Structures are given as C-alpha cells and as structure tokens.
A and B are shown apart, each in its own frame.
Chain A
Amino acid sequence: MLSRESSATLLGAVTEFIYKEARLQDEHQYEAWEALWTDDAIYWVPANGADIDPEKEMSIIYDNRSRIALRVRQYLTGKHFTQSPQSRLRRLVSNIELLDQQPGGDIAVGSNSMIYESSLRDDTIWAARNEYRLRHVDGELRMAYKKVTLVNNEKAIYTLSFLV
C-alpha cells in the first residue's frame, strides 16, 4: 500500500506519461511512440465487447512487440495510403486512476479517452476505455500493456488506421 504522498506522486508521473503518449499519437510521432513500449508489450483493441479471449476470437488489434514495430514501419513507408495524408487528430484523456497493483509490480492504470478524427472520408468521433500496465525501466515509465476498448466495438466501425 502506497502512502498518500507517494500515491499522488505516482499518479502525477503516470498522468504525465499518458498525456505524452496522447500527444505523440495525435501528432503521428510513430517512432517516439514505439519507444514507449517494453520489449514484452501487448497492444490490444478488442472487438465485440471487452471480455473476449484474444487468443481465440478476432480483435481489431492484438499486437505483440514485433507487430507493433511492423505497424510503425508501415507508417514510415509513407505509402500506407489510409494515413497518407494523415488524419488530423486531437484527443482528450481523463478519469486517470491508479488501479489495483499487478503481480510483478506493474502499475495498473485506467483512463477514458475521446478522439476527434478528421480524415478524407469525414470527421469521426471515437471514445474508449483504456487500461494500461506501466513499468519503470531504467528510471523511465514504459507501457507493457495497453488495452483500448472502443465504446462502439460491437458495431461496424470505419477504418481505424491512426494510433489509438
């Protein structure tokens, strides 16, 4: 159990980290975003609810670390047409909370986000619940796990080709 002071300090550091991630995503800073992940990272965007088994059922994204790297390399070709031109993005992140401690000492964090996307197709609003497991690596916070549960993931959704 953390003392009130250290809990507030940790929440401050976590909030700063999550705001930074949001900014890197909004501004398409793919390599800087990739550097936030740990080597054993999982990036998961489930479909059809929040509780599916990603090992058995289709998810919108279920990337291990090497697939995160592949995703970033595809952006960097400049020929990933769905992001050439890039979507214009701004997201608000709120309700950042420290959740129950994870085995292994990872820091569990929850947040909500709302994203405004303007693309060639149209303007689209996305909303999601985000669950993170963060870890200190060489004195810096890193993401070991990020799960993004879109509010409308049970419905047919438009192309989601920016970093969510």
Chain B
Amino acid sequence: MNVMPRASQWEELIRPDRVHGSLYSDPAIFEAELQNIWYRTWVYVGHESEVPEANDYVVKSIGPQSVIMTRDEKGKINLLLNRCSHRGNQVCSYDKGNARSFTCPFHSWTFANDGRLVGYAFPDGYEGQDKSQLALGRVTRVESYRGFVFGSFAAEGPTLQEHLGGAAETIDRLVRTSPEGEVEITAGFLKHRVKANWKFILENECDGYHPAFVHSSIFNVAESSIGKLYGGSSTALTRDFGNGHTEVDLRPEFRKRDVPMSWFGTTADRLPDYTARMNASYGERNAREIMIDGTPHVMIFPNLFIAEIQMFVIQPLAVDDSVQHVTALQFKGAPDLNRRLRQQTMGSVGPAGFLLADDSEMYERSHRGVMARNPEWVFLGRGEKRERIDELGFKVGHVTDEVPSRGIWSHYRKLMEAR
C-alpha cells in the first residue's frame, strides 16, 4: 500500500547529501508532486513563436493535462484546458493549426479561442443558463519571459520573474545569441518516451559527472572536444540558482579558448553571414564576447532545459512514464547558424540520438535500480565539502560536483512540505 507522506516525512526522505529511492518510484509521491509542483508552481508550456499569427494554436501540456496554447484575435496568449466544460470530451484533436473556435465533437458546444463558450446545439434546453459560467478551464496565471510562456494553476504566489530569479539571466544570455535578440521555436519536436521517473531526467540535465562515461562512445568516435569540458581538470562550474534552477556554466572553459564560436565546435569565419549580423547588432567587441561565451546549459525547474543548441521540455505522465519533447533552438536572423543547429540537434538527441539514446538508457536502468531497497538512498554528496558561494551569491562547485542535484532536492522539499 502506498500512503502519501506526512509533511514531516519529507525531511526524512530528503537529506542534505542523499534522497530516498522511493521518491522516484512511489505512485503516491507522484500524485503528491502533481498537486504540489505541476499544478502549483510555474511550468514552461510553449513559446510565443509557435503561435505567430492571430488564431494560431498549438497543443501543449502540463504534466498529464492537455493544454491548448492559443493566440486570440486580439493577439493575447491563452492557456486553455483541452476539456469540454459540458462532459469532459477533448475539444481539440490536432497538434496545431489556426482556428477562431473549437467545437466539441460530442455535443457541438463551441468555444472561442480565448475560452469563452459561444454556443451550444439546441439552446432551448438551457433557458436561463449563464454561458460565462461554462467557459473552457484555463491555466490560472500566464506570463512570458522573452517569448517563453509559463503557466501556473495557483491564483497567488511568486511572479514568474520572482520564480526565475537568478536563472532569468541565462535566458537573457540565450536570446543574445540572435542578432535580433529573439529565439524562435520553429523546427518541430521529437517526442522521446522513457520508462522512468521524470526526476531522473531533471537531475541529469546539469549532472556534469556522467558525460565522460555515458557519452564516451560518441566523444571518442566523433573526436569531440566536449568530453574535456566535463573532465577532472575542467574549470567549468555547476551552479544552484535557487528555486530549483541549476546550471552547468561552461564559460570559464570557452573564455580560456578565447575563440568565437568555439562553444559550437566551429569558427566565426565558417559562419560569415551570422558573424556580420552579430557585429552589426552588438558592435564587434560585444559580439565577440557573446560568440565566445556561447549559449547557456540551464535547467529551469521543473521542466525547461536549455542545452546550448536545443531545448527539452520534460513531461511526466506517470511515476515511471515520462516524455522529453526536444527541438533545435533557432535564432531570429541567423539562418546559417540555424541550419547547423538543426543538423547537430538531430544527430544528438531524440529516440535515435547519439547522446540521448544513452542518457535515456541510464534513466530507465536507474528507475529499475532504485526498486532495490538496500541501500535505500541515492547518494548526492559529491563536492559537498568544496562548494562555495560565487560573486552573485549562488552556490557553485566543480563541473562534476552534485551541486545541481542538491539544489533541486532542497527546493523540491520546500514545495512538497507546503500545504
């Protein structure tokens, strides 16, 4: 029998340097996470560039719930729940499109793309009914940061800016990679399912300890320099921004190299059009700095992972069933860079990707592994004694240290203890 833990049990399950294996495998804990995390905190849903025109829509999700992201006639972004207010049928069965309204196929109730109920069939049976009480459900709060749209089911709580906190700066850094300062999500998503708990994915995104081992096969045959970034003598850092957001900061290594576009494994002269546009937009000196530092490697809790060249969105479906939605980042005004970003992303990630096929194997083996209950704990103590506070007040450690996992669990505990 699975019993939802009492508030005081969370501190027994989550210690500073270890967490209990049941946190990944107990269905009751998964249900508690839906309530306390997925249906409460800010969750990334989609990007404004996915609905560029009035009446565009795209179907997204928050956990197992289907969410329609629309741009209504006035240009406003809405996050509507894909559930007819009559008897619960899904009102939208296509992944994306352009529609002023959604008509439920069951009894022909019709909703405007801002969620209003505009009509039902045979209205004479509904004398006196106030239609405004029967709108589509919606995600209570919707906010965007630089085009990234987040939703929260909590009527009150921190603003999106407060939630992002120090991690907002990583998104600022990301959009500067575009000569026009904008990311576009236009390349379509690969959807990669794993039979594993979503937190194995969450924690792995900024785990700098695994690449040297899990990815040694591709690093060796591709003669990639990525492996060195995650080696014992690397100067790269792991960082805990608080609120569950974590980063692998590779800039110290890229700054040592001091070669623009080295972060992307190329040189500026192989991207002449991009380089010229960056110089024109930011000035040569600033453009050079941006092109040396590269894009961030940041995990925005709980589900948005920006991995230098691609973006992952983590979706939990059940305690042992998760989907990674992944696409190449595209930068407005950078067609030559974008083409290479798509090519590299397709090689690296998704169900047949050189990197992600092996990561996903680890998620699934870890999930089966924690079903064994001795030891009961997952040990996360690497680098605990050598972590320090950086100039901005965030906890940092060596790139291979488990600073990110400890940061994630510390925030997780606060969310799960809240009532």
Q: What is the interface of chain A, defined by CB distance below 8 A to chain B?
A: 45, 47-48, 52, 55-63, 67, 70-71, 73-74, 76-82, 120-122, 154-161, 164
Chain B residues with CB under 8 A of A80? 217-218, 357-358
Q: Most A CB atoms within 10 A — which of B220, B350, B365?
A: B350
Q: 8 closest pairs, A vs B, by CB?
A: A156-B191, A156-B193, A73-B221, A57-B188, A82-B361, A79-B217, A77-B217, A161-B357
Q: Contact partner of B187 among A58, A70, A157, CB < 8 A? A: A58
Chain A residues with CB under 8 A of B188? 47-48, 52, 57-58
Query: Does B113 lie at the interface of the complex (its beta carbon under 8 Å from any beta carbon of A)?
Result: no
**Could you tell me how many residues of chain B have their Cβ less than 8 Å away from some Cβ of chain A?**
40
Q: Are A120 and B364 in contact (CB under 8 A)?
A: yes
Q: Most A CB atoms within 10 A — which of B221, B222, B343?
A: B221
Write the nearest CB–CB distance from B206 to chain A, whole angstroms.
20
Q: Are B194 and A155 in contact (CB under 8 A)?
A: no
Query: Does B342 lie at the interface of the complex (its beta carbon under 8 Å from any beta carbon of A)?
Result: yes
Q: Are B352 and A161 in contact (CB under 8 A)?
A: yes
> What are 17 A-B pairs with beta-carbon distances under 8 A?
A47-B189, A52-B188, A56-B342, A57-B188, A58-B190, A58-B345, A58-B346, A59-B346, A60-B352, A61-B352, A73-B221, A78-B217, A120-B364, A157-B193, A158-B194, A159-B192, A159-B360
Assembled-state Cα–Cα distance A63/B347 (Å): 8
Assembled-state Cα–Cα distance A63/B214 (Å): 22
Q: Are B220 and A77 in contact (CB under 8 A)?
A: yes
Write the nearest CB–CB distance from A141 to chain B, whole angstroms.
25
Q: What is the interface of chain B, defined by CB distance below 8 A to chain A?
A: 95, 187-195, 214, 216-218, 220-222, 323, 325-328, 339, 342-343, 345-347, 350-352, 354, 356-358, 360-362, 364-365
Q: Are B191 and A74 in contact (CB under 8 A)?
A: no
Assembled-state Cα–Cα distance A154/B188 (Å): 11
Assembled-state Cα–Cα distance A70/B218 (Å): 8
Q: Are B214 and A81 in contact (CB under 8 A)?
A: yes
Chain A residues with CB under 8 A of B216? 77, 79
Assembled-state Cα–Cα distance A133/B188 (Å): 27
Q: Are A62 and B346 in contact (CB under 8 A)?
A: yes
Write the nearest CB–CB distance from A44 to chain B, whole angstroms.
10
**Which residue of chain B has the shortest Cβ distance to A59 in the bound complex?**
B346
Chain B residues with CB under 8 A of A61? 346, 352
Chain B residues with CB under 8 A of A62? 343, 346
Write the nearest CB–CB distance from B186 to chain A, whole angstroms.
8
Chain A residues with CB under 8 A of B365? 120
**Which residue of chain B has the shortest Cβ distance to A45 in the bound complex?**
B352
Chain B residues with CB under 8 A of A47? 188-191, 350
Q: Are A60 and B350 in contact (CB under 8 A)?
A: yes
Assembled-state Cα–Cα distance A147/B51 (Å): 30
**Which residue of chain B has the shortest Cβ distance to A53 in the bound complex?**
B188
Q: Contact partner of A159 among B220, B345, B361, CB < 8 A? A: B361
Q: Are B352 and A77 in contact (CB under 8 A)?
A: no
Q: Contact partner of B328 among A58, A60, A82, CB < 8 A? A: A58
**Which residue of chain A has the shortest Cβ distance to B317 in the bound complex?**
A156
